A and B are shown apart, each in its own frame.
Chain A
Amino acid sequence: MELCPLVKNILLLDSEGKRIAVKYYSDDWPTNAAKEAFEKAVFAKTQKTNARTDAEITMFDNYVVVYKFVQDLHFFVTGGENENEIILAAVLQGFYDAVGLLLRGTVDKKEALENLDLILLCLDEIVDGGIILETDANVITGKVASHSMDAGAPLTEQTITQALATAREHLTRSLLK
């Protein structure tokens, strides 16, 4: 197991460090309090940096953390101290891009919370028990968003009617709120 690249957690926090969606794959943080302490520390350590164009990286308590921010959303991926940084960055990029695709360009906290189901499914498709499942954002969104098409086909190949259907669905949903 130790030779396989492993992800310790994936975090999506807001601009105050509060949770939007998080997923832990390691026993390093056994309690919710430990998890929150970790999130608080990571957030405090990174919030002053500018991680808006390129993914940034830091070492922290013997963990490598790669992160990227957009609007009021903060994306983090954590790995062990000896993990290949570039693999972690690939996971981060996959998550970041997939969320961008799923939220159709409007990537902010409000939109993320309104589509929390999609974000949670997205996390479920990226990593399974610490092992990387997929890093290609198109494939990830394909698995999350398309409910009834042949697997493997990227989102871009969705039929127009399908795309319209989902769009309408989203519209009515927000009107209903």
Chain B
Amino acid sequence: MAQPFLKKDDDHDDEVDYSPFLGIEKGAVLQEARVFNDPQLDPRRCSQVITKLLYLLNQGETFTKVEATEVFFAVTKLFQSRDLGLRRMVYVIIKELSPSADEVIIVTSSLMKDMTSKTDMYRANAIRVLCQITDGTLLTQIERYLKQAIVDKNPVVASAALVSGIHLLQTNPEIVKRWSNEVQEAVQSRAALVQFHALALLHQIRQNDRLAVNKLVSSLTRGSVRSPLAQCLLIRYTSQVIRESASNTQTGDRPFYDFLEGCLRHKAEMVIFEAARAITELNGVTSRELTSAITVLQLFLSSTKPVLRFAAVRTLNKVAMTHPIAVTNCNIDMESLISDQNRSIATLAITTLLKTGNESSVDRLMKQITTFMSDIADEFKIVVIEAIRSLCLKFPLKHRSLMSFLSNILREEGGFEYKKAIVDSIVILIRDIPEAKESGLLHLCEFIEDCEFTYLSTQILHFLGIEGPKTSDPSKYIRYIYNRVHLENATVRAGAVSTLAKFGAMVDSLKPRIFVLLRRCLFDTDDEVRDRATLYLNTLGADGAVEDMKEFLFGSLDIPLVNFERSLKNYEPSEESFDINSVPKEVKIQALAEKKAPGKKPTGLGGPPPAPPSTIDAYEKLLSSIPEFANFGKLFKSSAPVELTEAETEYAVNVVKHIFDGHVVFQYNCTNTIPEQLLENVTVIVDASEAEEFAEVASKPLRSLPYDSPGQTFVAFEKPEGVPAVGKFSNMLRFIVKEVDPSTGEAEDDGVEDEYQLEELEVVAADYMLKVGVSNFRNAWESMGPDCERVDEYDLGPRENLAEAVNAVINLLGMQPCEGTEVVPSNSRSHTCLLSGVYIGNVKVLVRLQFGIDGPKDVAMKLAVRSEDEAVSDAIHEIVASG
């Protein structure tokens, strides 16, 4: 069968590597597998065929269900052979074929026989195979043997049983937990790897019992664990215990720190490194605790082994983010790593140096980096660029040399991502360091003179339009911009026209000259360019209402583009013109949550679940279809569902709060989880005695709630118009319950009235706040002006850490964090968080929060609020003051 293949390769037989699998074909190999059925088995030939089958599987070939079953049945015949080598191959291929449950039965008895065999190799492998392919039912039958195997005097057998136990614990925890005694005995084994596997299993059995883990760790840290791998495990468990007990022991020495430090003197490198890394990752680690760990890492930096250098520099790089001073001792070793053959190590070294460097070393460092940049890949360059950007923000005085470095590399060859990283960095520096503005803008101007990326050109032109007119001499940028109108593609030309118009609108002295240029653009070949020029000439040329016009042309769009797009698509041409105010402003957070999900376990079969329909649209439609609520006006905000029942109770109820200007509607989503019941006339009785400003006006019961098909009931309240009233509501689910015959699905005629207590529900200030982001917080902040600014300081008292405090305030206000400022770097002592939102009554609100940790855990916060209305600014302060 393989003839044609061989023939084809005959002529260049000498050049092509000879391979025993040349021209191998699935069909032929499956034919060959018939030898497994021979009455006189030839073990070597059978081994060869199994190898071929494994080769095919390894190359990504798949067997159909029928093929796999056939091969599997044939393979089971091979248990007759006494040949040890063949048996090993049989074990491997059974695991690869992963037979189905009914097939497993065929080999069970053979494997169980091997499991009790005198040959160690049989026992060890049969355990591994059987545990991998078996399901829970079989496990009880073989449990006795597995327990014996765990304490088998042969380490290979013991390890096989222990590792299988670790896997089985995921599926059959209750069985594996019964082996605790044997596993404990195995922890004392003299064989290194048995100890490692036993420790891993024992910890997993006990992981939910903090006290037991604590005991395990404290007994083992005193004794001597032989295996380096087991020692690494013990270090990980120890740091977990330290982490969990940290809150109890505020003062004094950290428990187990001495153990970690002792491990730094272990003879195995993996243990030394594991301990050093564990110390650097301790919560709130002190410089004194860090010293010894950093010393051993420093030794690794000059090791001949790349793996050690990499491990050390990667860890030090992380330490440098929070404790730059502690790492400065390693600077000399780091600098020599810049020329390391391994570019990953070199890049990590550079970025570490950029973090630990002081102001005086910046220039020298930049010189070294310039030579380094030419011979690393783009992805590494981007990492370096980001490090330089944060360095520049740290030492604003050095902006000159750093900016010129950025502009130099901007001129060199590079891909889009790399160029974008540089441009982004320059833009950020311009925004944050006023002195760097003029030179930075000129660098960008020069870059667009010769830029191959349309996206970057338009971005820069847009940015020039915002920043350029505010400089001392705006006219010098005009030449660069107008050149684009001559030399570029239509997209960039259109961008340039808009930028020119912005200069014209902002700088009166330039206006006549800009108009001359814009008029020339009227003859452009592209529609968009001509349209824009015409629009600007007509709007800006007209007298009066100039301010409004500017706002209209260049003001920021305060609605999310996605929502805008959807509303436009939904709009049907009619007498009524499209109203931009009807576009919902709430940003959907869904997209973000979904982004985080991939990377985890892919669902395998079928595509991803269909995306949920846009919630706010759905709510609006639903509410407006109910006549009782139709006259409440426009829906301001709908909250995320709040659970009112524990998980796995008879009835699952959650509530969504819909806020209108003068009303609040509670939507109770109910699910009946009892198949034998049908609920009818379901209502929620709300007691609003702790919510004085609210008065119940309507309720809409749910007529029937069958098993497992969710339904909604509504209750509406009136509240003072435009006032952010708050209050607490207690809820009682009331319904008529009817028995259902599960076999026929028919309900009985008579029902019984019943009640079910739900948890309390609160309307809080955050419910009156829409999460609406702004793209450029600084601009928005400045354009809002300090007229209605309110600043005050608050003491937040002792907190777990800064991140927890920041989150608490964000949740309290219910506003949208901007520019990623909701993320607090671990161990930092201060943090600034920017928030934006729209308060009820459509008032834009911006908040700048500055946090600082003071003393051991005391967090203080400065809150600055700007909004369009003083009363709202005060209201925000009130929320925080009362929260």
Name A residues whose Cβ lies closer than 8 Å to a Cβ of B: 1, 3-5, 19, 21-22, 27, 30, 32, 35-36, 49-50, 54-59, 66, 84-90, 109-110, 113-114, 116-117, 120-121, 124, 128-129, 131-135, 143-144, 147-148, 150-152, 177
Are B58 and A5 touching (Cβ within 8 A)?
no
Are B60 and A86 touching (Cβ within 8 A)?
no
Chain B 21-64: CB-based contact to A (< 8 A → 1; otherwise 0): 10000000000000000000000000110110011001110100
| Cα separation A36 to B58 with both chains bound (whole Å) | 11
**A–B pairs, 12, beta carbons within 8 Å:** A3-B233, A19-B59, A22-B58, A30-B602, A49-B342, A57-B307, A86-B274, A86-B311, A87-B270, A117-B51, A151-B121, A151-B124
Are A85 and B311 touching (Cβ within 8 A)?
yes
Task: Name the B residues within 8 Å of A87 (CB-CB).
Answer: 229, 232, 270, 274
Which among A4, A55, A113, A150 has the greatest number of chain B C-beta atoms within 10 A? A4
| Cα separation A63 to B120 with both chains bound (whole Å) | 36
Are A120 and B310 touching (Cβ within 8 A)?
no
A120 contact from B92, B132, B155, Cβ within 8 A: B92
Apart from A56-B306, A129-B167, A151-B157, 16 more pairs, CB < 8 Å: A1-B170, A5-B233, A55-B305, A66-B307, A84-B270, A86-B308, A87-B229, A87-B270, A89-B305, A110-B17, A116-B20, A117-B89, A121-B92, A133-B193, A147-B84, A151-B155
Are A19 and B47 touching (Cβ within 8 A)?
no
Nearest-CB residue, chain A, relative to B156: A151
Name B residues whose Cβ lies closer than 8 Å to a Cβ of A: 17-21, 47-48, 50-51, 54-55, 58-60, 62, 83-85, 88-89, 91-92, 95, 120-121, 124, 128, 132, 154-157, 159-160, 163-164, 166-167, 170, 193, 196-197, 200, 203-204, 229, 232-233, 236-237, 240, 269-270, 273-274, 277, 304-308, 310-311, 314, 341-342, 344, 601-602, 604
Are A124 and B92 touching (Cβ within 8 A)?
yes
Task: Name the A residues within 8 Å of B167 (CB-CB).
Answer: 128-129, 131
Task: Name the B residues within 8 Å of A50 (CB-CB).
Answer: 341
The answer to whether residues A110 and B19 also contact, given A30-B604, A59-B344, A121-B88 and a CB cut-off of 8 A, is yes
Q: What is the CB-to-nearest-CB distance from B98 to chain A, in angstroms, rounded to a whole number?
A: 12
Which among A19, A121, A131, A135 has the greatest number of chain B C-beta atoms within 10 A? A131
Are B342 and A3 touching (Cβ within 8 A)?
no
Task: Name the B residues within 8 Å of A84 (CB-CB).
Answer: 232, 270, 273-274, 277, 311
Nearest-CB residue, chain B, relative to A33: B60
Q: What is the CB-to-nearest-CB distance from A56 to chain B, in angstroms, rounded to a whole number?
A: 5
Nearest-CB residue, chain A, relative to B52: A116
Q: What is the CB-to-nearest-CB distance from A106 to chain B, in angstroms, rounded to a whole number?
A: 14
| Cα separation A88 to B307 with both chains bound (whole Å) | 9
Are B270 and A90 touching (Cβ within 8 A)?
yes
| Cα separation A11 to B403 with both chains bound (whole Å) | 44
Are B163 and A129 touching (Cβ within 8 A)?
yes
The answer to whether residues A150 and B120 also contact, given A22-B58, A110-B19, A116-B55 and a CB cut-off of 8 A, is yes
The answer to whether residues A36 and B92 also contact, given A131-B197, A148-B84 and a CB cut-off of 8 A, is no
| Cα separation A50 to B342 with both chains bound (whole Å) | 9
Task: Name the B residues within 8 Å of A4 (CB-CB).
Answer: 166, 200, 204, 233
Are B342 and A152 touching (Cβ within 8 A)?
no
Q: What is the CB-to-nearest-CB distance from B337 to chain A, in angstroms, rounded to a whole number?
A: 14
Are A151 and B47 touching (Cβ within 8 A)?
no
Q: What is the CB-to-nearest-CB distance from B659 to chain A, in angstroms, rounded to a whole number?
A: 41
| Cα separation A49 to B376 with both chains bound (whole Å) | 13
Q: What is the CB-to-nearest-CB distance from A30 to chain B, in angstroms, rounded to a whole number?
A: 5
Q: What is the CB-to-nearest-CB distance from A137 to chain B, in angstroms, rounded to a whole number?
A: 14
Nearest-CB residue, chain B, relative to A166: B85
Task: Name the A residues within 8 Å of B20 (CB-CB).
Answer: 113-114, 116, 177
The answer to whether residues A110 and B18 also contact, given A86-B311, A152-B156 and a CB cut-off of 8 A, is yes
| Cα separation A133 to B156 with both chains bound (whole Å) | 9
Q: What is the CB-to-nearest-CB distance from A19 to chain B, in angstroms, rounded to a whole number?
A: 6
Are A57 and B310 touching (Cβ within 8 A)?
yes
Task: Name the B residues within 8 Å of A131 (CB-CB).
Answer: 163, 166-167, 197, 200
